Copies of this chain bind each other. A is one copy, B any other.
Amino acid sequence: MSETTTLLNHRYGPDHTPSVVDNPIIDHLLNHRSLRSYADRPLPPGTLETLVAAAQSAATSSNLQAWSVIEVRDPDRRARLARLANNQAHIVQAPLFLVWLADFSRAQRIADAQDIELKAPGYFDSLLVGSIDAALAAQNAVVAAEALGLGTVYIGALRNDLQAVIDELQLPPLVYPVFGLCVGYPATQTAIKPRLPQAVTVHRDTYQVDAQREPGLIAEYAALAASFSRGQGQNSLDWRDQVIARLKDESTLHGRERIAGTLNAQLLALR
């Protein structure tokens, strides 16, 4: 069995393996797994510069480059951020911890030189522009990190208490933390997590759901995901029930139900 086929079997299960083009960079992408346990091992010199160069090479809307990144080194600050993000120990353990920011403050500083107040950053679309710019950049950094033998995990829980994180990082108006990212060498082996069959995720021409077929495909995925979780010694709650539990009501948002107000206080997403 080829390397590619092995990777696809892990990702989709043997019944839903698509035919993909054989290519080492594709294999590299298929091989992604998130890492939550980091070795106490220093990173190669130039790691941060490499990840940022990869990140800056990603596309950016209208070349605005409406993002920035903070490397958090101070251990006390790391510990406080970990407490704000659901006590995730890897925020403290990982040798590199980055916070990716949507940033229109730099644009405003440029405009300040001409005594111009920018109006567009307060609009909803600009929040999307900055968040998407940050996400494209960070994903390139993730692909780069894995090329160096490093693992990563995104920290969306950095939005649980958005105001406290903004204060901790001393973010000015027009800036908000989109997510964190831990980077380091693996302390443990991790496995490739299964995903939904492509037939569930891909639509043709319009959004068409095959109401006869979709529930069965999702049930097959739930079985595959449960088998994976058991193999990892994790809880094997049915994936469908996990989705419902995560999205049922505001209690599962862990504070994120308040972020609209915090973003508005940063002068973002006002209208």
User: A-side interface residues toward B, CB under 8 Å?
Assistant: 8, 11-12, 18-21, 23-26, 28-32, 34, 44-50, 52-54, 56-65, 67-74, 77, 101, 104-107, 109-111, 113-114, 116, 118-121, 123-126, 128-129, 131-132, 135-136, 138-140, 142-144, 147-148, 152-154, 156, 159, 168-172, 175, 178-179, 192-193, 195-196, 198, 200-209, 214-215, 218, 225, 239-240, 242-244, 246-250, 252-253, 256-257, 259-260, 263, 269, 271
Contact = CB atoms under 8 A, between A and B. Distances in A.
B129 A156 contact: yes
A81 to B, nearest CB: 11
Contacts of A20: 46, 49-50, 53
A18 B75 CA distance: 26
A207 B49 contact: no
A140 B116 CA distance: 37
A205 B73 contact: yes
A34 B59 contact: yes
A169 to B, nearest CB: 5
A73 B205 CA distance: 6
B247 A118 contact: yes
B8 A53 contact: yes
A58 B257 contact: no
Contacts of A32: 57-59
A64 B243 contact: yes
Contacts of A168: 206
A123 B253 contact: yes
14 contacts: A11-B57, A24-B147, A30-B57, A59-B152, A61-B154, A62-B156, A69-B203, A73-B204, A119-B247, A119-B249, A123-B257, A126-B247, A131-B131, A136-B154
A52 B18 contact: yes
Contacts of A139: 58, 135-136, 139-140
A44 B61 CA distance: 29
Contacts of A67: 201
Given A104-B247, A206-B70, A243-B107, A201 B59 contact: no
B129 A57 contact: no
B154 A63 contact: no
B111 A247 contact: yes
A209 B109 CA distance: 10
B116 A248 contact: yes
Contacts of A72: 205
Contacts of A248: 111, 116, 118-120
